[in-house]
Amino acid sequence: MKELLHGNPELLITVVGIGGCGCNTVNMLHENNLSGQVNLIAVNTDLAALNSINVEKKILIGENLTNGYGAGADPDIGFQAAQESEELLRNAIMDSDIVIITAGFGGGTGTGASPLVAKICRELKINCLAIVTLPFESEGQKRLDYALQGIDDIKEPIHAYITLSNDLLLKGLGESVGLFSAFNQSNEVLKNLLIALVQMLNETGYVNVDKNDFSTILSYEGESILGVGKANSEEEAFDALDQALNNPLVSIANIDTAKGIIFQLFCKSEPKLSTYNGLIDHIRTKITNRSVLIVPGVTLDPNLTSEIEILIIGSGITSEKTVTKPIIDIEQTPLMPIPESEHSEGQTKLHENQHGVVANSYAPEHDYIDDELSFINQGESLTDIPAITRKLMAINRL
């Protein structure tokens, strides 16, 4: 039992940072000493950028195509570079149990290469999650168009993806925030989400959430959310939960219809039973869907920077109206099916978070259709348009 509590050595999680933003993120994970727990890989067309980070495993893609000078902000070049180096990418991830792609969309390498990496994961039957950022509005419509096309390209091969809007993050930080501070905050969001996910999946807890639980929850169709909250004492644990459920940067409707939820409690020291039960009960009070599958987890980590950290993942949420101003959007396709007998028991529900995430799947939504969507062909469904595209349209109308 003691050996089990030290972690699951057979589970290999690979985080692939693609392009400038993605490489910066995996470099932050390396600096936070996660390289001993997960396989960190930096992928770029820019040799100078690769040489500037400390991640040990680096892959220069498209060397013959770009000569190591980058993709020139052209996603087509990024894709061709990944094609040229496809065998290198395949060999780097082929032994992984879960692959998490992180990239900034809107440029060349991250936008163009990420869909091919997701496709390789699909071919290798590796569950894959992508966490990507959208460009700032000030970066221009062209980069936003590239980003939206990248999301459209990745939605078929990927199992689930999360998009973070830098503009909505900027609105939350205020107009006076510095440029570097804004980018650092965006990277901090990515880092906190990835660290919490990796820790949950890679460490065996006293109440354990494993890879199959993770796959099951993300396989539910509908809107999804992911959030992280922190507290400096156990007495403030409910504040951490509220951070995870009520991110002011996130707006999501009808979360009470969630079909699946993961509630993961990280503690520096042993929590009170009343705290554990109280947190789950607090989530239950927010849920009207009594058939929801809730998977609780508890991990003791004396090295936590805060006394309490809470990770919330939820999916299968039905929305009756268009969600406005989401910071994150997760498009989902079903993951590898998990036998019914392996589904964990429990019940709970969620909301939003301090570094929150909102998500949509391909299940039909009850969004309203206005003149801005009149370009949809008569034979196409509204859900043929990526959810993030519809939501950004809604934001632009505000």
Helices (H) and strands (E) in the chain, counts: 14, 12
Beta carbons of 41 and 24 less than 8 angstroms apart: no
Of the candidates 210, 192, 195, which has an alpha carbon nearest to the alpha carbon of residue 127?
210
Distance from C-alpha of 312 to C-alpha of 197, rounded to nearest angstrom: 10
Residues within the annotated binding site for GTP? 108-110, 139, 143, 187
Distance from C-alpha of 79 to C-alpha of 117, rounded to nearest angstrom: 10
Q: Give the count of beta carbons closer than 10 Å to the beta carbon of residue 199.
A: 21
CA distances from 320 to 163, 166, 373, 393 (A): 21, 26, 18, 17
Residues within the annotated binding site? 108-110, 139, 143, 187
Beta carbons of 247 and 353 less than 8 angstroms apart: yes
Distance from C-alpha of 204 to C-alpha of 79, rounded to nearest angstrom: 37
